[in-house]
Chain A
Amino acid sequence: MNLFADALAWLTDPANWTGPFGIPTLTLAHLTYTLLALVLACAVAAPAGWAIGHTGHGRSFAVALAGAARALPSLGLLAFLVLVLGVGLKEVATVVVLVLLAIPPILAGAYAGIDAIPRGTLDSARGVGMTGWQRLWRVEVPLGLPLLLGGVRGASLQVVSTVMIAAFIGLPNLGTYLIAGQRLGDYARMLAGAILVAALALVLDGVLAVAQRLAVPRGVRMATAAVPA
């Protein structure tokens, strides 16, 4: 209880809201890494997932890849990459680890979105004479978008919490409060850091949840609204 009050006091102390290790600066750094990783992961995983969903090939490969990625220890991989790439490229190493982490859920969301489209819908798109690309962009991508964004949501939760490990290699972000707090025995600061990370994760998830809702095409929203849950 006391610790909570202390953390709250720490969070509201104006001194912690300024300077290079202030809350705004570190939150921004944390957010930047997260968004950069998500954007890059989407750029790789969405087209790959669409290709799998569209062609029906490569699903077992994707599942194996996702399993392998889950088994990867993020901190170990980060340390390894820093050693290989050199300390000068530790930002790059961090982003690479985060991207690898974010790819599997986004990939799965992209192909699951296409898999979930009723066969009759895709068949009729073919029957009226759409080319493969037209089916992809006009039918598969728009109808699959909500599930893809669901994958991005899952990825964002993982990435937001994993960004913290970059603090171990000296890249400032919200994880810095946990490391510094532990070193100084300042548990209020550690708790404050954890709260900030959780808050950031919730905000991002909320934004993506809204985006996911908006991504459901109107006609599909009506179909689901017509059927009582």
Chain B
Amino acid sequence: MIEFEGVTKRYSSASGAAVDDFSLVVPRGTTTVLVGSSGCGKTTLLRMVNRMVDPTRGRVLLDGEDVAGRDPVALRRSVGYVMQNSGLLPHRTAAQNVAVVPRLAGRDRAAARSRSLELLELVGLDPELADRYPAQLSGGQQQRVGVARGLAAEGDVLLMDEPFGAVDPVVRGELQHELLRIQRELSRTILFITHDVEEAFLLGEEVVILSRGGHVEQRGTPADVLAAPANEFVAAFVGAHRRDRRLRVDERDGVRLVVDGRDRPLGVLTDEAP
């Protein structure tokens, strides 16, 4: 469980707060997505969990324990962290990049290697690619390695900072579904960042919509947010007024078609449960 308690961060006394009095609870084994536009403080919030950034005021608790009291190095070893643009070490192969984490946790080389290969398989990386260097992998493959490295941490918390932001939409879709599958298998406590609302709605059991300064505009399940946007900001952000979000049923020849605001047919309405 991750808890933010009235967290504020000022990078310098002159500038405004990057994050101002933010509170949130991420229950164990669930995925919470922070979504907001560039510069609203998402990365700052995420990095306070593993003490890459220390809050100016307030506390961050992991399973009830204030992280400020933990040794930053030990804390980071136990918390999975997937960075934007993968952040792989260029002079290490895919397998070595993942093995870094168990090695730092004190595993011997052989154990770290087998753990690394296991995780690379879990994230769907072709085993033939395990001994390639990051420069020899596509962006999507690098992100898979990044996710495997995040999963290699032994703690249950996984921080993901726009992990799929830099890959094309098709690969992004694949990676998102891989993540859902992995999460069904592992039930980690995931704090996920994105500025893509579709991604937030797909992955998050709870989504938190942020505006500048880490200000919470609304939090809730994707359905809650879409059904009842708290204010104009949220409505605009999630595109509640967008024509492709306004769906209606159109009966043709006894078949109930679902069409969007541009009359594009999206599917057929049925009474069968999935």
Query: What is the interface of chain A, defined by CB distance below 8 A to chain B?
Result: 120-121, 123-131, 134, 139, 142-143, 217-220, 222-223, 226
Contact = CB atoms under 8 A, between A and B. Distances in A.
Contact of B135 (A124, A143, A223): A223
Nearest to A127: B81
Top 5 nearest A-B pairs by Cβ distance?
Answer: A124-B87, A219-B133, A129-B77, A217-B91, A223-B135
Nearest to A118: B90
Given A124-B83, A129-B74, A129-B76, A143 B104 contact: no
A126 B85 CA distance: 15
Size bracket, chain B contacts: 20 to 34
Given A222-B136, A223-B135, A226-B135, A127 B87 contact: yes
B52 A128 contact: no
B93 A128 contact: no
Given A127-B81, A129-B101, A219-B91, 10 more contacts: A124-B89, A128-B100, A218-B91, A219-B92, A219-B133, A219-B134, A220-B135, A223-B90, A223-B133, A226-B135
Contacts of A131: 73
A139 B100 CA distance: 12
B73 A219 contact: no
A139 B89 CA distance: 8
A127 B91 contact: no
A142 B89 CA distance: 11
B73 A121 contact: no
B89 A126 contact: no
Interface in B43-61: 50, 52
Interface string B93-129: 1000000110010000000000000000000000000
B90 A217 contact: yes
Contacts of B87: 120-121, 123-124, 127
A124 B91 contact: no
Contacts of B101: 128-129
B21 to A, nearest CB: 26
Contacts of B73: 129-131
10 contacts: A123-B52, A126-B76, A127-B87, A128-B77, A128-B149, A129-B73, A139-B89, A143-B91, A217-B90, A220-B135
Interface in B17-56: 50, 52
B88 interface: yes
Nearest to B146: A124
Given A218-B133, A219-B133, A121 B90 contact: yes
A130 B104 contact: yes
A130 B77 CA distance: 8
Nearest to A120: B87
A128 B76 contact: yes
Contacts of B136: 222, 226
Contacts of A218: 91, 133
A126 B88 CA distance: 12
B50 A127 contact: yes
A127 B77 contact: no
A219 B135 contact: yes
Nearest to A219: B133
B234 to A, nearest CB: 31
Given A127-B52, A128-B77, A128-B149, A222 B89 contact: no
Contacts of A120: 83, 85, 87
B52 A126 contact: yes
A130 B100 CA distance: 9
B50 A219 contact: no
A85 to B, nearest CB: 45
B104 A219 contact: no
Nearest to A216: B91
Contact of B83 (A127, A129, A223, A226): A127
Contacts of B85: 120
Nearest to A220: B90
